[in-house]
Every structure is written in structure tokens, then in C-alpha cells.
Amino acid sequence: MIFDTDQDDRNMAVLKLGEVVEVLPADHKARVVFDDDDSIVSDPLPIVVFNSMENKDFHLPDIGEDVLCFFGSAGMEDGYIIGSIYAGEIEPPNNSTDVRMVKFADGSYFKFDRSGSIFECSIGTTKIELQKNQVSVETSQLVSIKSAANVKIEGAAQVSIETPVLQLNVGGTTMKLTGSNATIESQDLTFTGNVSVTGNLDVSGTGKFKGPVTAPDFNS
């Protein structure tokens, strides 16, 4: 308990604004200096979080950050850091009443805009955006999807892939598609069903055909 039932003890509780001078990550605590109180440095103060049992929060203030502290009847030994405030030239990362956002020192952030139901996450050049009916991923480097079991891509209407070069590797078979040609490398290749070729067909090696083969100047 922070307070006893005695009314005098209740009147001794205070809120103080100070500056973080030391952070203790292992204990989730920090020390705070109070310039309006002869620059007294507090004992390690617990940092208030939303959850600390089954669900656990972990977030620490930076050294030099302005924090609001609550002290009970025991003075500097009976305190908690209850939050941080924007002070001086430090500005919030957003100015919309519809946005909830967390921004990190390296520029990464995640935010939710309730006005459009849009969740956005950005790390470096990678950006993920989730809307009610759409998901988009943008990055300047590699996008990798890997599973120890199966990967399923299903489009009720259409699946579109736009790229200068598409290469598929399945076992020992490689199929490569570019803007001007397509190549398939495989020890054995079988087509089942009808095959139509428009243009020239060059075959190197032996061709085996079962059934009729029709060409303008060739019947077999």
C-alpha cells in the first residue's frame, strides 16, 4: 500500500517532475534528479507499466528524459515513475487526434490511424501497411518467405506477378522467364494435354512423338 489510513499520511503524497540520470534495465527502474529540490537524486524508482504478470510490458526512459514521479508518505524511497512528458523543444511524432503511434530513435515506428483503419509499420526502407481490405509490403532489398511445411498462395480472382525476371526452382527443374524468352532446364519434361506453339520451334536433340503431329508441310 502507498498510503496508510491516516489522513496526515495522505497529505504527504506528492508529484514531482524530474530528469532521468540512470536507467537500470534488469530491474525496470531508473534514478531521477530533481532540480527544484537541491538536485537530489532519487533511489531506483520502479517504472509503472500496463502489465507485469502473464502479459508483460518492457519500456524504459532515456537518460535526460523528463518524467513525472509519484512519492508516498515515506519520501524519496517510496516513489514510482508514472510517465514521461514532452517538454522544451521535444515535439510529439504526430499531431492527429486519430493516431496512436510509437516512434523509435532510429526512425522506425508503428502507428494506427482509426480514421481510415490503417496500421502502418516502418523499419528502415521496409514498410508494411494493413488496411481493411488490403495488405502491402515495400522494401528496397529482399523479401523472404520460408516455411518448414507448406506455403499456399491463393487468389479468388487472380494472382499477378510483375518482375523483369521470374525464376522457379523445383527439385532439379529450373524455369526462367524474362521479358523476351523462357527457358526450362530439366532432366525429364512431360506435357500432358494440348500444347500450342505460335512462331518458330527449334529442337536440339532427338524428338519422340506419340500420336499424330501436324504441321503445314509435315504429316506423321
Each residue's pLDDT tens digit, 158-197: 999 999 999 998 888 898 888 888 888 888 778 788 878 7
CATH class of the domain whose range is 7-84 = mainly beta
> How far does CA 50 lie from the centroid of its chain?
21
The residue extents of the domains of the chain are 7-84, 99-138
User: Per-residue pLDDT tens for 43-85?
Assistant: 999 999 999 999 999 999 999 999 999 998 777 778 999 999 9
Rounded Cα–Cα distance for residues 16 and 34 (Å): 8
Rounded Cα–Cα distance for residues 176 and 178 (Å): 7
Confidence of residue 103 (pLDDT cuts 50, 70, 90): very high
- Count of CB atoms situated within 10 Å of the CB of 78: 16
Residue 191 has what pLDDT?
79
Residue 117 near residue 131 (C-beta atoms within 8 A): yes
Confidence of residue 204 (pLDDT cuts 50, 70, 90): confident
Cell of residue 210, nine digits: 506419340
